[in-house]
Each structure stands twice: as C-alpha cells, then as structure tokens.
C-alpha cells in the first residue's frame, strides 16, 4: 500500500521530499527524500517520538503539496501568521484564537517562504499506519470519511469529537485529554487556495468552546472542497489513572500514548450526487443519517435516506458504519418504551445491548409508510454498525451554556478498539 500525504493524498516515493521540524528541537530541522524505512520522519531526540503535547512535537510538510498554508499569499512575500485573527460571519465579528496560530507562526520563522501547510507527525503515521508497519500491522489511529446529505450533522459530529464536551457525560471531566488540528484542503490539485476564511471558519468552534462561548454561527456546513480535515488526538490522563473504560481498552494494550482519529468531512452537495467523488480509501466510512427526517416521523428530507444508502454502497473503506443524528428532535410519543429507555441509557453513558441501536433504526426504516430509499438503506445494514449520536444545546446562547454530545463515546471506542483490542492468546 503506497504512503500518502494526509492533506493532498498524493502518493509519496523517493522523488518526493518532506521537511521535518520539531518545535522542541528546531535546530534539528531536516528536508529529506521520503524513504519507507521512516527513520527521518522522527526527531533525532528519542523522547520526541511521544511528546507531552502534539503542539510541541514534530511537524512535517510535503514539499510541493497543493494543500497550501492559509497565510501564503503567492506573491513572493514571506508568510506572516498573526497571533490571532478575526472572521466576519452573518454580520458578527469573531475573534479567533487557536494553538495552530502559534505553531504556524513559529514554523514560518524557520521556513518563511514555504507555501505548503504543516501537519503533525502523528497525522502522517495514522494515515500510513499499514505502510509504515506501525506496531507490526496495528495502527495508532484511524482515518474516517464522513459522508451524508446536507444538514445531516457531519460537521457538528466531527467538531464535537475533537473537544472535551463531546465526551463529558456523565463524568464532569473526561479521563483523557483530546487535542485537535484542523485544515480545509483545496478543491483539486494545482488550485491556489485563498483559504483564510474557510480556515478561520473551521477554527471558529474550537476558539469559541475554548472561551466557554456558544453561538449557532459556529455551525457551518463543509464547503465544496477536497476535504475538511479534522484530527482528534487522544491521550489517557496517566496522572489520574481513573481511565474511561473505552480508552483503557486500547491505551493499556499499546506503547503509544497518543492515538488519533482523522475525520475527512465531505460536502453534502457532493454526497447528494449519484457518483462517488471521493475515491481515496480510508479505514472507516461513516455515513451520517438525519434521524429526525424519516418517513415514519412525518418529516421527510428526500436526499436524506437516498444519499445515505448510495454512500454506504460506494464509500471506499475497510469498515463501514451508519451514524444516526438528531434523535433528540424526535417526539417521545413516537417511540416505544424500550426505545426511550435505550436513548436514556445512551444519554447517561450506560452500556447498551449489542445491535440495540441497529434494531431501533430497522424498525423506523421498516415502517409501513417508509420511503423506498429507506428500505434500500435497511437492506444494507446486515454487516454495518449503527450508532445514535446527537448534540444538545447548539442554540443555547446563555452565558456558560455549552453543547453536549451523547452517544459519541461508543462510536469513538468502536473506531479505535477495532484496531487496539488485545489479541487472544492461543488456548485461552
């Protein structure tokens, strides 16, 4: 399997070069032809292979990559990255702060004329875990392509997976750290992106949630780009030792303290077309379905089930799942008592029976008034995992009120545990 750049997906070989900068040891900066033995991608200081924070570790750039630094002007002037930036949206001005400003600013000091976007080493290792033979075939994370119709909830899902508030229930504080990285890629190879607005829009929710603020303006659909990349880096809180069960499973069975999920979010406009636009294979294909827009509820958005059915059939992935969103918008009197109990358990973070979520969805899709596309979708679910994930409080702008996501832990656990579960010993 060829090694690829995590931003542009171009195959890398000895004719391609990478530049490595460790922000803890910048004097060891190096540009080198890519070699599959991978020795040059690491900082020469051994301890930097597993930094305390992704923000202070090794960054790479793919020389000649069409994924450009959002502050590259293309006019020959050196890159100038501000300490913070502003974004105007719907008549409001937002002041955006994020650790990427500091990292890009520091990296621009070492490579002021480099047009390419920098990315953490861990992203490169996650995308290429198989080719790099990470831990003899077991990866250190997973790549996920999100697909679904417009307004299905893809962007909210990916955003909340990158912040503590996606995992804060029922515990007030998650037992692991999560750091994030985001980038909006250009539409195609050779396109000079003028991406500051898209880049800032991608950073807006993380800036606002960091400042304990919430406003509906941070929810913006993915633009028609090659991909909207959001990376979540997880690390267990080893000082506490009260690890969440789902993180405990893979942290205790690996030597790598950081594990990651790379979300490649795609535009609903592209997903609603019959043909599959995104053909780059990923570890997990996550198709998103708006659970509040099904025929049995009486509220129908025609592309919703049709798009989910088509993308589930065509998405290029090793494993597939269906994520049903917005179930909090369904009226309780339309649900069976057992279904209300299931949602209550998910909201409380309690364990549920295997396939319970799938059985609930199959009843909805099998309603006597179900659309043909909904029945088609049901036929494809035999070997597909189903998750119910929803976010509450998106429109709550009261001071101190922040959105909370439920059901996300199970999806993240499944995404990682499929690769990190301990192997059974012979005879056991």
- pLDDT at residue 197 in the model: 82
| Domain count for the chain | 1
Give bridge partners of residue 145 from the DSSP assignment.
264, 285
- Give the pLDDT confidence score for residue 132 in this predicted structure: 78
In a domain, 95, yes or no: no
H-helix or E-strand containing 374?
helix 372-379
Q: Given this model, what pLDDT does residue 90 score?
A: 76
pLDDT at 384: 95
- Residue 312 included in any domain: yes
Q: How far apart are CA 289 and CA 297, in angstroms?
A: 14
Q: Which domain holds residue 153?
A: 138-185+227-423
380 located within any domain: yes
Half-sphere exposure for 378 (CA within 13 Å, toward CB): 16
The pLDDT score that the predictor gives to residue 176 is: 65
Question: Both tokens of residue 237?
Answer: 């809180």
Between CA 272 and CA 156 the distance in angstroms is 19
3-state secondary structure of 69: coil
CA atoms within 13 A on the CB side of 110: 21
In a domain, 216, yes or no: no
Dihedrals phi, psi of 94, to nearest 5 degrees? -110, 135
Name which of 247, 256, 246 is nearest 351 in CA terms.
Answer: 246
Q: Does residue 176 form part of some domain?
A: yes
The whole-angstrom separation of Cα 211 and Cα 400 is: 10
CATH assignment of the domain containing 325 = 3.40.50
Place of tokens 């303290």: 257
Q: Could you give the angle at which helices 372-379 and 356-365 cross, rounded to 10 degrees?
A: 150
Q: Provide the Cα torsion 198, 203, 204, 209; round to 10°.
A: 160
- Phi (first) and psi of residue 11, to 5 degrees: -70, 140
Instruction: Give the pLDDT confidence score for residue 187 in this predicted structure.
Output: 62
Q: For residue 47, tell me if it sits in a domain.
A: no
**Does residue 9 form part of some domain?**
no
Backbone φ/ψ region at 354: left (φ over 0), alpha (ψ -120 to 50), beta: beta
Q: Tell me, yes or no, whether 18 lies in a domain.
A: no
Mean pLDDT by 10 residues, the chain (428 residues): 88 91 93 81 83 90 92 90 88 90 95 95 89 63 91 90 75 67 69 66 88 73 68 67 44 59 85 81 93 83 87 92 94 91 89 92 91 93 94 81 87 72 38
Residue 76 in contact with residue 23, Cβ under 8 Å? Answer: no
Q: Are the CB atoms for 111 and 61 separated by under 8 Å?
A: yes
Angle at 323 between CA 322 and CA 328, to 5 degrees: 145
């Amino acid at each position: 399997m060829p090694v690829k750049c995590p931003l542009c997906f171009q195959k890398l070989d000895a004719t391609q070069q990478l530049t490595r900068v460790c922000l803890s040891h910048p004097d060891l900066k190096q540009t080198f032809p890519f070699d599959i033995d991978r020795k040059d991608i690491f900082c020469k200081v051994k301890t930097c292979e597993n930094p305390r924070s992704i923000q202070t570790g090794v960054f790479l750039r793919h020389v000649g990559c069409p994924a450009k630094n959002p502050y590259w002007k293309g006019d020959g002037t050196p890159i100038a990255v501000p300490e913070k930036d502003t974004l105007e949206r719907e008549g409001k001005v937002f002041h955006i702060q994020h650790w990427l400003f500091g990292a890009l600013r520091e990296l621009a000091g070492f490579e002021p004329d480099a047009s390419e976007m920098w990315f953490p080493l861990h992203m490169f290792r996650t995308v290429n875990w198989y080719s790099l033979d990470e831990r003899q075939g077991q990866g250190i994370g997973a790549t996920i392509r999100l697909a679904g119709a417009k307004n299905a909830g893809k962007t909210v899902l990916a955003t909340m997976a990158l912040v503590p508030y996606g995992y804060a229930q029922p515990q007030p504080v998650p037992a692991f750290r999560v750091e994030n990285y985001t980038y909006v890629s250009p539409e195609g190879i050779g396109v000079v992106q003028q991406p500051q607005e898209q880049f800032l829009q991608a950073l807006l929710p993380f800036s606002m949630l960091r400042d304990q603020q919430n406003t509906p303006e941070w929810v913006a659909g993915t633009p028609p780009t090659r991909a909207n990349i959001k990376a979540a880096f997880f690390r267990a809180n080893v000082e506490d030792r009260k690890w969440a069960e789902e993180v405990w499973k893979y942290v205790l069975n690996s030597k790598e303290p950081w594990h990651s999920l790379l979300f490649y979010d795609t535009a609903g406009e592209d997903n609603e077309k019959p043909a599959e636009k995104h053909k780059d294979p990923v570890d997990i294909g996550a198709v998103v379905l708006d659970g509040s827009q099904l025929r049995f509820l009486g509220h129908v958005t025609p592309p919703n089930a049709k798009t989910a059915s088509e993308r589930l059939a065509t998405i290029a992935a090793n494993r597939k799942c269906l994520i049903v969103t917005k179930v909090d918008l369904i009226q309780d009197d339309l649900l069976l008592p057992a279904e209300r109990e299931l949602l209550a358990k998910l909201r409380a973070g309690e364990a549920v029976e295997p396939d319970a979520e799938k059985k609930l969805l199959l009843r909805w899709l099998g309603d006597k008034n179900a659309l043909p596309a909904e029945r088609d979708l049901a036929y494809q679910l035999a070997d597909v995992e189903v998750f119910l994930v929803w976010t509450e409080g998106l429109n709550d702008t009261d001071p101190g009120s922040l959105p909370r996501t439920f059901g996300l832990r199970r999806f993240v656990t499944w995404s990682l545990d499929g690769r990190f579960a301990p192997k059974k010993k012979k005879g056991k």
